[in-house]
Chains A and B, each alone.
Chain A
């Protein structure tokens, strides 16, 4: 659910801003490019953060949500601390990912799938589960790389650095109730 469905039609910029907690200041972008220039994934992104923000302002919803840029964001926060306008760039990237998933917009399904698989384990056990995550994700998206990555997994095992079974927290029912309520409130943020 997006902001637009709750509080009437809004332009895309307002929609992104409303879905990003706090005083994110996205409307203050001066297109200086400090963000893209600082970004470790910048070279592999289809649009640098600066370009993405110009597209948001231009209302290019589909192009923005289809971009690999938010998924390639590694949350290094370089852009955020360097932005002369104090825009919460990394938080905006999180918003765009969540919006893309809601809208079902992406050309490489492996990008959201890693996040979603991670979330699945957390929702089931209350803890993350590295072995399950890596296996499930790679089976689905890089079956050929599994053989190549096997030594890594084995070496993790040998060093006692990976669990064979997930750990479930005791308050799982409580956590599920919280998350279920939270999801029903997801649109309220906007």
Chain B
């Protein structure tokens, strides 16, 4: 299938392995990506906090450029949760709010642009892979099944919520990535934290809050017996990976749960080399976990069991006030 592609700032650099692995697998799954020319930053979760109309206009420029470039597809995809949600939010709110629609288009006109709200289908990359390309097409490409690898599928927040277009089976316990990872041969562990927050921008503005959230997730994944966490978002990857190291310092713990992108696992199962998939750029080394999938047999000898991390006191689960 063809789709317009919005990479976003993170994929360009900090999440380069996400982009590299996506580019490495796209032909296998028949995904043709057309990058939006000269796209700008989506504003993350910050621009919207300062100027509302300007934030929508910032995003509107990307939508307008994409619309102008849309020839044989009306699907616009992004791999980053925040980028995806921003594109989807502006499109949705322009559609629902005539005043906002008029205002944003008036701003866009200052740059000679226009966007017809609703003219593009904004979809997260995971959505395309699972629902458009489909599990069977993915499975058909698997040459090196990930037997023996235990993974925690982590969705984070902004792809499955608020879910303006109703793309997911659940806002709190979605299963699409679980099914995808199973199609690759991996064993998906059962855990309850798959859509809990990674800390978002709190890792910078209030690290203690973020460390608590990161510990809860990492502890939960380790507790469930996962060899790694699999993510679909650069921000989640950064918080759970790079800040896992900081979190360990803060709590005097020694968790070592690597965090990879679902596209990297697809690539491994498709027989690509770790290098080509950007594996090795993570902070928490993924090699020990990946050593497991060299084994062909689904049952891996119970050789060295990783030491169990100390149970942290963690943050409470969602509760009634």
Contact = CB atoms under 8 A, between A and B. Distances in A.
B179 to A, nearest CB: 21
Contacts of B100: 21-22, 189
A94 B89 CA distance: 13
Contacts of B199: 74
Nearest to B48: A94
B33 interface: no
A159 interface: yes
Contacts of A38: 318
Contact of A179 (B54, B245, B283): B54
Contacts of B99: 188-189
A161 B243 CA distance: 14
Contact of A114 (B110, B204, B207, B213): B204
Nearest to A111: B205
B120 interface: no
Interface in A41-82: 41-44, 48, 50, 70-72, 74-78, 80-81
Contacts of A127: 9, 12, 40-41
A76 B127 CA distance: 19
Contacts of A177: 110-111
Interface residues of B, number: 76
Contacts of A183: 51, 53-54
Contacts of A186: 51-54
A119 interface: yes
Contact of B58 (A22, A23, A179): A179
A185 interface: yes
Given A22-B93, A72-B202, A80-B162, A178 B111 contact: yes
A2 to B, nearest CB: 12
A39 B315 CA distance: 11
A189 B103 contact: yes
A9 interface: no
A90 B93 CA distance: 14
Interface string B242-253: 110110000000
Contacts of A97: 49-50
B302 interface: no
A167 B206 contact: no
A80 B92 CA distance: 16
Given A40-B213, A161-B13, A126 B52 contact: no
B45 A75 contact: yes
Interface in A77-103: 77-78, 80-81, 90, 94-95, 97-98, 101
A175 B138 CA distance: 39
A171 interface: yes
Contacts, number: 224
A5 interface: no
Given A76-B157, A78-B157, A162-B13, A98 B49 contact: yes
A143 interface: no
A132 interface: no
Contacts of B9: 127-128, 130
Nearest to A41: B209
B38 interface: yes
Contacts of A40: 196-197, 213, 315
Contacts of B57: 178-179, 181-182
27 contacts: A21-B52, A21-B97, A34-B321, A74-B200, A74-B201, A77-B158, A77-B161, A77-B162, A78-B197, A81-B162, A94-B48, A97-B50, A98-B48, A98-B52, A101-B50, A114-B46, A119-B46, A155-B283, A159-B282, A161-B16, A178-B57, A178-B61, A181-B107, A185-B53, A186-B51, A189-B53, A189-B100
Interface of B: 9, 12-16, 38-41, 43-54, 56-58, 60-61, 92-93, 96-97, 99-100, 103-104, 106-113, 157-158, 161-163, 171-172, 196-197, 199-202, 204-209, 213, 242-243, 245-246, 281-283, 315-316, 318-321
Given A44-B208, A189-B103, 7 more contacts: A40-B315, A74-B197, A81-B163, A114-B46, A171-B38, A181-B57, A189-B100
Q: What 9 A-B pairs are tightest by C-beta distance, nearest first?
A: A33-B321, A74-B200, A77-B161, A181-B110, A182-B107, A182-B57, A97-B49, A118-B46, A174-B111
